[in-house]
Amino acid sequence: MHRYQVFRNLHDLAHPGVRATVRLICSSFVWPKMKQNIVNFTRSCIACQKSKIFRHVHSPLAEFKVPNQRFVHINIDLIGPLPSSQGFSYCLTAIDRFSRWPEAMPLTDIRAETVAQALYSGWISRFGVPQRISTDRGAQFTSDVFHSLAETFGIRLSHTATYHPQANGAIERWH
């Protein structure tokens, strides 16, 4: 029987992954470079490619252009819960991309309204309105409240790719 035909007959039963297909075929057949053939056959199976979801596809990270003046582009993130101090259990952290000036604003909770208010009173009222803010895809930063704040002040929001905390690296390194 032809190798590919053996593979198709057994693999097409349930379209198992590479390891399961190797175990299944190796239990009844032997040929040179068998494992390598099975790996290649399995990875080229169109039905598997269409139906199996690979959630953590790593794309190359885009680079932000370094701003030419301070407080034009900031990165923000949340940390916590932390041990409570005077009722505060979270922090909104912000860092300027040009000067690397960091700020931490204590929060009692991480509701979108609280985060937007902290950004306004802790950063915008002190350093001015940034042209751009980079955040992760936390619910607070993708909320209507946060988008409304950004729209009101003409701030351009950039959200990092899911499962790529390094895309917001300036602030993540500070944590």
What is the C-alpha separation between 148 and 133, in angstroms, rounded? Answer: 13
Per-residue model confidence (pLDDT) at position 43: 87
pLDDT at 1: 58
Task: Inform me whether the pLDDT recorded for 60 exceeds 70.
Answer: no
Q: Are 40 and 94 in the same domain?
A: no
Amino acid 68: pLDDT: 87
Kindly state whether residue 61 falls inside one of the protein's structural domains: no
Give yes or no: residues 15 and 92 share one domain: no
64 part of a folded domain: no
Whether residue 84 sits in one domain with residue 15: no
Selection from 170, 161, 151, 159 nearest residue 75 by Cα: 170
Note the pLDDT tens digit of each residue in 114-133: 999 999 999 999 999 999 99
Q: How far is residue 123 CA from its own chain's centroid? A: 25
DSSP string, 82-113: ---BTTB-EEEEEEETTT--EEEEEES---HH
Residue 57, domain member (yes or no): no
Same domain, 105 and 31: no
Task: Point out which residues pair with 73 in neighbouring strands.
Answer: 132
The answer as to whether 90 is a domain residue is yes
Q: Are residues 2 and 45 both part of a single domain?
A: yes
- How sure is the predictor about 160, in pLDDT bands with cuts at 50, 70 and 90? confident
DSSP-assigned letters across all residues of 4-53? HHHHHHHHTTT---HHHHHHHHHTT---TTHHHHHHHHHHT-HHHHHH--
Percent of the chain with pLDDT over 90: 57
Rounded Cα–Cα distance for residues 136 and 142 (Å): 9
| pLDDT at residue 76, rounded to an integer | 94
Q: What is the CATH number of the domain that holds 114?
A: 3.30.420.10
What does the pLDDT average to over 45-57?
75
Q: Tell me, what amino acid is at 93?
A: T
Residue 149 lies in a domain: yes
Residue 82 belongs to some domain of the structure = yes
Range of the domain at 116: 73-173
Q: Each residue of 75-95: pLDDT tens digit? A: 999 998 999 999 999 999 999
96 and 132 belong to one structural domain: yes
Question: Is-above-0.85 flag for pTM?
Answer: no
Q: Report how far residue 64's alpha carbon sits from residue 73's, in angstroms, rounded to the nearest whole number.
A: 10
Assess whether 78 and 154 both reside in one domain: yes
